[in-house]
Structure 1
Amino acid sequence: MPVKIKVKTDVEHEGENETFELSLFGQLFKKGGSTFLKYDEVQDEGVVHTIVKLAEESALILRSGALKMRMIFEQGEQLNGSYESQYGTLLITTETINFTHEINDIGTGQALLTYKLLMQGDPVGTYTMNIYYELEEQL
């Protein structure tokens, strides 16, 4: 199903704050009780294919293409993922502080994810990601 997706990410690191916002179109599908959002992002390095899996108590973000990354989120857990760069594969760790996902009957949903990110064991910042999606109007 085609959806309109808005992703807003706030990053706090050493007293500095930065905000990134994306508005794009993608696909929504459901499988095994989870909601999946699939979209492409055009960056300087090239196109990044992203899949976001939203389950009841966990989330997963997979990115491939110009950037390869795997991040897993589970409330109160510290979980390992990976980030592939031109320098090789780096270990990334997410410590999920808060995760909620709500969806209504008409296909509009919102996920809120707050986590601490560590790269190779070093803190990179605290991220608050707000993902809002709605089904595209059917013509």
Structure 2
Amino acid sequence: MSARSAEQVPVKIHVKTHIYNGKNKESIEWIGFGQYLEKDNSQYIKYEEIIEEGTIKTIIKFSGDEGLILRSGAVKMRLSFQLNKQRIGSYESPYGVFQLVTDTKRLEWEKEADQTAGLLDILYDLNTQGSKNGTYHMTINFKEENE
């Protein structure tokens, strides 16, 4: 582990999500700033989004062949990923808590060895309460922000 492990490094983050549902395709993109951290053989990306309903705090954890996205604040969500496995998560709304199931088809982590930069690439099917929501392709790029 490098001397920078357990130290939060400021990063610029670019999140892209493409959602495929039958013939329909929707794309969501977010660019902002956050922190990157390595701790106990896991990598973390943390950031906050400000939306109309309030602030959403997001923590992305990646370790080996598993990933986790936790969101709290204006949106409460837990999505768990493990390659070629179904994992149970949840989404909390004003109407109640909904069960989410991810079926992960691709979970790839690339980090540049000489700098704090990398890419997390996740392809998964998402089911809510037993119904298929669609296929999601999420990429999370991050790069150390030196300014």
Q: Deviations over 1:30-57 (max 9, x none)?
A: 1111110000011222111000001121
* Equivalent residue letter for 2:64: E
Between the aligned residues of both structures, percent identity stands at 40
User: Residue 35 of structure 2: SS of its match in structure 1?
Assistant: strand
User: Residue 89 of structure 1: SS of its match in structure 2?
Assistant: strand
* Equivalent residue letter for 2:101: T
Q: Deviations over 1:76-106 (max 9, x none)?
A: 0001001000011110000001110010121
The two structures, once aligned, show a CA RMSD in angstroms of: 0.8
Using the alignment, how far apart are the partners of 1:131 and 1:66 within structure 2?
Answer: 21
User: Residue 76 of structure 1: SS of its match in structure 2?
Assistant: coil
Instruction: State TM-score, norm by structure 1.
Output: 0.97
**Number of residue pairs aligned between Structure 1 and Structure 2:** 138
Partner of 2:136: 127
The CA deviation at 1:29 is 0.8
Runs of 4 or more consecutive aligned structure 1 residues displaced over 2 Å after TM superposition: none
Using the alignment, how far apart are the partners of 2:40 and 2:55 within structure 1?
Answer: 28
* Equivalent residue letter for 1:94: T
User: Residue 38 of structure 2: SS of its match in structure 1?
Assistant: strand
- In structure 2, the gaps of 5 or more residues are 1-8
Instruction: State TM-score, norm by structure 2.
Output: 0.91
Do structure 1's residue 25 and structure 2's residue 36 form an aligned pair?
no
User: Residue 64 of structure 2: SS of its match in structure 1?
Assistant: coil
- In structure 1, the gaps of 5 or more residues are none
